[in-house]
Amino acid sequence: MILRTPPQRKRRADADADAGADLAGVKSIGGVSATGRSPVSDRRLVLYDRPTALVAAGAPGEPFDDMVCTYHCRQMVKSEFMVALNTAEKQVQEYQAKLDALEEQLSKSEDERMQFQDKLNYAEQELAAAKGRESALQERLLKELGDYQERYHDQVKKINELEAQLNKEINSRISAESSASSAKESIKDLEENLQRLSERSEREKKTLKKEFSYLKDDLTLSVSKLNAELERMRLRAENSESEAKLLSEQLVDLKKQFDECLREKNDMEHKLLISSALSDQRAPTDDQKLIKLLQEELRNFEKEVHEARRLKSSHTNVELLKEKLLEEQGRKERAEMELSKLQEIEAKAHKLELELASCTLLLSNIPDVSSYGDIPQKFADLQKQALTNLNKVGEVTSRLKELEVALEFADLSKQRAEGEATLAKERAETATREAKRLELMLASISEERDKLRKDHAMLTKQKLRDGDDTPIKNMDSDLSGMEKIIRELESTIHDQKELISQKHAELDIMNERLSLEARKVKSLEREGDQLRSQVALLESKLGHGDYSASSTKVLRMVNTLAVDNEAKQTIEALQAELKKTKERLQAVEELKGQADAGTVVDANIAEKLAQLKNQIATLEKREERYKTVFAERISVFRKACCSLFGYKIVMNDQQQSNGIPITRFVLQSVYAQSDDEKIEFDYESGSTNIVVNDYTCQQEIAQQVEVFIRKMHSIPAFTANLTMESFNKRTEALTERQPQLEKKPPRARAPLSGKAVAALCFTSFVVGLLLSGKVSLLPASAPSASRYSAKESTRASGCDNDQKLGERHPTDLLNEVSRTHQAILSLDKAVSTLEVELAVERARSGGAGTAVASKPPQKAFVVIGINTAFTSRKRRDSLRETWVPRGGKLRKLETEKGIVIRFVIGHSGTPGGAPDRALDAEEAETRDFLRLDHAEGYHELSSKTRVYFTTAVATWDADFYVKVDDDVHLNLGILTSRLAKYRTRPRVYVGCMKSGPVLSQKGVKYHEPEYWKFGDEGNKYFRHATGQIYAISKDLAAYISINQPILHRFANEDVSLGAWLIGLEVEHVDDRSMCCATPPDCEWKKRAGNVCVASFDWSCSGVCKSVDRMRHIHKACGEGEGGVWNVAI
């Protein structure tokens, strides 16, 4: 029996051999060096020199023992030497090879050096260029510095100017204040004037009243005078009546005298007749005497009448009338005086109005300097005062008007008085006419008298011939004339009475007017009082809660407490239930639809899905086929290994007690004498360990395990040794039956086959490792423990057949398999995205029938939603002037490039309100809005983002959905070309990724109310794209759209989106060109050839003062016109 375990001694011999190889002298070193051993030789010896070592062990160290050595021994030594020589030669070769390699390396390094030198030169050139650039930059900087200095000087100048202006303005303000104060003073003056005016008007009123009273007195006086006149007239009339009576009496006397005269005459005639015969001369003397007496009497009578008429009536009458006239003239004068006074008052009023106008002018002048804060208030006060003043003025003017009316009345009365005066004149005239008439009458009477005289003369002449007829007739006519006169006088008296009554009526009217005016005055006073009280009330109310309807509106919240609330709750509960049942119904319907192969919802997608599934099925079939082929090849390989290395290897996937998966290899030698002779190894992540079992527990095996594995850590050596041993056992067992000669060859063969086996073992192990790496791909070749024995047996039996697919190379197969696997994975992705789409479709068709659902979504490449607000009209316009195309260009971009740009906005809190209407108008003009069903400002922006993605997904079928703020500058061309790169990848989230601190403090900007969810204080958010601009791919947008109701909204919108995506299989793409700063940063980058996607200022969360600066930024950092049109998508 051969001892397999190498003894310790062997090492020295090995060392000897080594030394011998080096120095070509065995003896010199053999004894000396116990120290010259090299670990290399030590390693080698294990493999091939056990028998010799065993022999050499008998005679250690002595050189001269070699000489004594047998041939065999010498042979051994020789072979050893040969081996050593060989190794030395090999080493030499190796060294040479190394030398070559080194030379090659040298040449390479030379080349590299050259390259480096080139690079160095290049770098130097670059340096020079950079220096040049630097100098250029410095120059520029200097220039800029100069510019800045100039600008600075300008600024200083401007500042000085501004200061001067400021001073001026301060001066002007002071002047304005002074003017305000002067205005106040003038207002005071005005008030004083007003007071004066009112006083004056009061005074005038009083004077008017006085005048009225005077007038009244005058009138009463005139009335009394008239009455007196009337009395006088009456008296006159009575006198004249009495005169008339007297006259009639005289007439009667005269008639009687006349009768007597006639009788006398008759007597006389009688006498004459008698005396004619007897005595004619006695009687005429008596008659003459009688006539003389009568004539005298007549004269006296006439005189009396004359005197009575002239003296008593006419003269007095005329005088009285004259007096009246004078009085009337005096009254007229007074009235004229009043008129002039009134004119004066009017003039005063006019003056006051002028003053007022000047005041209002002053007041109107004051607003020109209203740029100072205080003045508007003062101005408002002044205006109020002015208003009140105006009111007062109005009152005064009304009073004035009243006065004017009164004046007019006075005028009228004056006119009436004048009329009266004229009437009086007329009366005077009539009176004079009467006087004339009376004179005429007198003349007629005197004529009568003359006639009577003549008659008398005639009588005296005639004496006898005739009695007097004519004087009596004349007397009768006189009498009738007298009666006429009396009637006339009576009528004049009547007229006078009428006049008096008219005057009375006038007086009454005047009195009434007076009382009316007094009443008016009282009512005005009352109104004034009321106004004063109202002013007081208003003043009190101002602090208390009154308001002006022009600027304020009072709203009351409908009190829905108690009953209404309950009703509402029940209604809500019922609505919720209804919704639930609807959802259930929908689910049932969907289930039904699915039973009908789901074609109801979207035949197109379902078809696609079916196609893809078919594809997958064929691919899976192919994969299966490849797998079987692979399995066959593997079995061939195994069999080859088995026949070459003498071990059947079975691989088992197992799990350790701690759950770590391991692979167990079970090796069974082909020379094994029983099935129990199995060695088991556990392979786990690069290390292989032997498993202790019944077989390895046998003593000799255990010894070998101890030596080869535990001590030398060489499993291949162990297995090879074992093979050798079992082979020997086998052959020994055979040789027991066969002749003894047979025993040697294996021994002689042993060293050779040992080497071969060792090499084979090593390779087989390597292959085994290789295979174990592929195990996971091949479920068929990793059978479970129960299936193990069956497979094992088939493989064991099939060890020596099967070469069917030899024409194919196994690596090709592997490639094929991996390719198909990848194809299947990509198809899986496609299927999953399609399924998402299907879900979106279903959600849309089921989702409450919105208007969008009716039309199919438009195809697009990217949808860019610009987040905006109602108040940001200027920002929108600044974008429309820069990077957002307008009108036809916008549509063209949509149709040709698939780039959809919209301003995203919801509606105001009160739908149909003023902001909504303003936006409607803007939309009609620009047609670049996407209106969301979202109340602006009511909820957080997070919910707007949610609604935006949902609406965008429903409206457009785009590869990417971008959200950007309305104060960010964007380059559309760069953005689209950047996004096109990620087009093939599933679930992409592109943006400028950052991780800001979680702000737990209340009231600060970007405060996070749910800060406790993000762990301890001082933590930062998970990485997310900053909110100014980011893009998500279609599947992510669909995900948000589908799961919208259950996605939690954090306070910050970008954090919310990051949170929704952090838990998903999402590729976070951090693109720094999406967060460039404003010029000069982006300008420099553009010059360097890296045009930015987006630029903004971090400090303002967008471009600071974007409305003013957007155009400048666009000029500096824009990609230029046509940038977007040249992009190939």
Partner 1 sequence: MASRTASKDIITLRGSAAIVSEFFSYAANSILYNRGVYPEESFNKVKKYGLTMLLTQDEGVKAFIAGLTSQLSEWLEAGKLQRIVLVIMSKATSEVLERWNFNIETDAEVVEKEAIKEKSDKEIMREIQAIMRQVASCITYLPCLEEPCVFDVLAYTDTDVDAPGTWVESDAKLISNPQMVKLHSFDTKIHKVDTLVSYKKDEWDEDE
Alpha helical stretches, state H, 366-469: 374-462
DSSP 8-state class, residue 1015: -
373 binds partner 1 (CB under 8 A): no
Per CB under 8 A, the list member of 477, 560, 581, 698 interacting with partner 1 is: 560
Closer CB to partner 1, 105 or 565, in the complex: 565
565 binds partner 1 (CB under 8 A): yes
The answer to whether the CB of 989 falls within 8 A of the CB of 1061 is: yes
Helix (H) or strand (E) holding 344: helix 316-365
Per CB under 8 A, the list member of 39, 545, 1018, 1063 interacting with partner 1 is: 545
Closer CB to partner 1, 979 or 992, in the complex: 992
Q: How far apart are CA 6 and CA 261, in angstroms?
A: 229
Chain-centre distance for alpha carbon 738: 106
DSSP string, 906-917: EE-SSTTSHHHH
Closer CB to partner 1, 696 or 1026, in the complex: 1026
Closer CB to partner 1, 146 or 912, in the complex: 912
DSSP 8-state class, residue 884: S
Closer CB to partner 1, 328 or 1054, in the complex: 1054
Closer CB to partner 1, 30 or 1102, in the complex: 1102
User: Per-residue string for binding with partner 1, 946-975, x by CB under 8 A?
Assistant: -------------------x----------
Closer CB to partner 1, 64 or 547, in the complex: 547
DSSP string, 697-728: TSHHHHHHIIIIIIIT--HHHHHHHHHHHHHH
1008 binds partner 1 (CB under 8 A): yes
User: Per-residue string for binding with partner 1, 599-628, x by CB under 8 A?
Assistant: ------------------------------
Q: How far apart are CA 612 and CA 831, in angstroms?
A: 7
| Token pair for 521 | 């005055």
Q: How far is the CB of 557 from partner 1 (least distance, A)?
A: 5
| Token pair for 160 | 């000085």
737 binds partner 1 (CB under 8 A): no
Cα dihedral 911, 915, 917, 920 sign: negative
1097 binds partner 1 (CB under 8 A): no
Q: How far apart are CA 629 and CA 816, in angstroms?
A: 11
Nearest alpha carbon to residue 938 among 976, 910, 973: 910
The answer to whether the CB of 1020 falls within 8 A of the CB of 995 is: yes
Q: How far is the CB of 526 from partner 1 (least distance, A)?
A: 22
Closer CB to partner 1, 764 or 1052, in the complex: 1052
986 binds partner 1 (CB under 8 A): no
Per CB under 8 A, the list member of 561, 741, 748, 851 interacting with partner 1 is: 561
Beta bridge partners of 931: 905
Per CB under 8 A, the list member of 547, 614, 617, 698 interacting with partner 1 is: 547
Per CB under 8 A, the list member of 35, 70, 281, 551 interacting with partner 1 is: 551
Per CB under 8 A, the list member of 999, 1062, 1104, 1129 interacting with partner 1 is: 999
Burial (0-12, 13-18, 19+ Cβ within 10 Å), 1074: buried
- Residues 421-450 touching partner 1, rule: CB under 8 A, are none
Nearest alpha carbon to residue 180 among 356, 18, 365, 429: 365
Q: How far is the CB of 1070 from partner 1 (least distance, A)?
A: 16
Per CB under 8 A, the list member of 64, 116, 938, 1125 interacting with partner 1 is: 938
991 binds partner 1 (CB under 8 A): no
Q: How far is the CB of 871 from partner 1 (least distance, A)?
A: 8
Total count of residues recorded for the chain: 1129
Stretch that binds partner 1, among 74-82, 606-614, 1024-1032, 1110-1118 (CB under 8 A): 1024-1032
Q: How far apart are CA 437 and CA 498, in angstroms?
A: 24
Q: Are strands 956-965 and 1024-1033 parallel, antiparallel or unpaired?
A: antiparallel
- Residues 863-902 touching partner 1, rule: CB under 8 A, are 867
Stretch that binds partner 1, among 356-364, 937-945, 1031-1039, 1112-1120 (CB under 8 A): 937-945
Per CB under 8 A, the list member of 996, 1019, 1023, 1068 interacting with partner 1 is: 996
Q: How far apart are CA 526 and CA 532, in angstroms?
A: 10
Q: Are strands 678-684 and 899-907 parallel, antiparallel or unpaired?
A: unpaired
Nearest alpha carbon to residue 758 among 710, 703, 721: 721
Closer CB to partner 1, 549 or 591, in the complex: 549
Instruction: Identify residue 483 by its one-letter amino acid code.
Output: E
Beta bridge partners of 863: 900, 961
Q: How far is the CB of 542 from partner 1 (least distance, A)?
A: 11
Closer CB to partner 1, 557 or 748, in the complex: 557
Rounded to the nearest 10°, the torsion over CA 510, 513, 515, 516 is 180
562 binds partner 1 (CB under 8 A): yes
1003 binds partner 1 (CB under 8 A): yes
Q: How far apart are CA 782 and CA 631, in angstroms?
A: 11
Closer CB to partner 1, 146 or 1015, in the complex: 1015
937 binds partner 1 (CB under 8 A): yes
1005 binds partner 1 (CB under 8 A): yes
Q: Are strands 899-907 and 929-935 parallel, antiparallel or unpaired?
A: parallel
| Token pair for 146 | 């100069």
| Token pair for 379 | 């101005």
Per CB under 8 A, the list member of 1001, 1016, 1088, 1089 interacting with partner 1 is: 1001
Q: How far apart are CA 618 and CA 884, in angstroms?
A: 48
User: Per-residue string for binding with partner 1, 907-936, x by CB under 8 A?
Assistant: --xx-xxx----------------------
The answer to whether the CB of 459 falls within 8 A of the CB of 224 is: no
- Residues 1057-1096 touching partner 1, rule: CB under 8 A, are none
Closer CB to partner 1, 562 or 848, in the complex: 562
Q: How far is the CB of 1079 from partner 1 (least distance, A)?
A: 21
Q: How far apart are CA 521 and CA 209, in angstroms?
A: 12
1055 binds partner 1 (CB under 8 A): yes
| Sequence-ordered list of residues with C-beta below 8 angstroms from that of 164, at least 6 positions apart, any chain | none
3-state SS string over 810-840? HHHHHHHHHHHHHHHHHHHHHHHHHHHHHHH
Q: How far apart are CA 209 and CA 406, in angstroms?
A: 10
φ and ψ at 788, to 5 degrees? Answer: -60, -50
1004 binds partner 1 (CB under 8 A): yes
The answer to whether the CB of 642 falls within 8 A of the CB of 670 is: yes
φ and ψ at 936, to 5 degrees? Answer: -65, 140
- Residues 782-841 touching partner 1, rule: CB under 8 A, are none
User: Per-residue string for binding with partner 1, 1035-1054, x by CB under 8 A?
Assistant: -----------------xxx
Closer CB to partner 1, 652 or 872, in the complex: 872
567 binds partner 1 (CB under 8 A): no
Closer CB to partner 1, 533 or 654, in the complex: 533
1098 binds partner 1 (CB under 8 A): yes
Stretch that binds partner 1, among 178-186, 447-455, 669-677, 991-999 (CB under 8 A): 991-999
Number of residues that bind partner 1 (CB under 8 A): 54
Stretch that binds partner 1, among 20-28, 305-313, 543-551, 693-701 (CB under 8 A): 543-551
Residues that bind partner 1 (CB under 8 A): 540-541, 543-547, 549-562, 565, 867, 909-910, 912-914, 937-938, 941, 965, 996-999, 1001-1006, 1008, 1021, 1026-1028, 1052-1055, 1098, 1101-1102
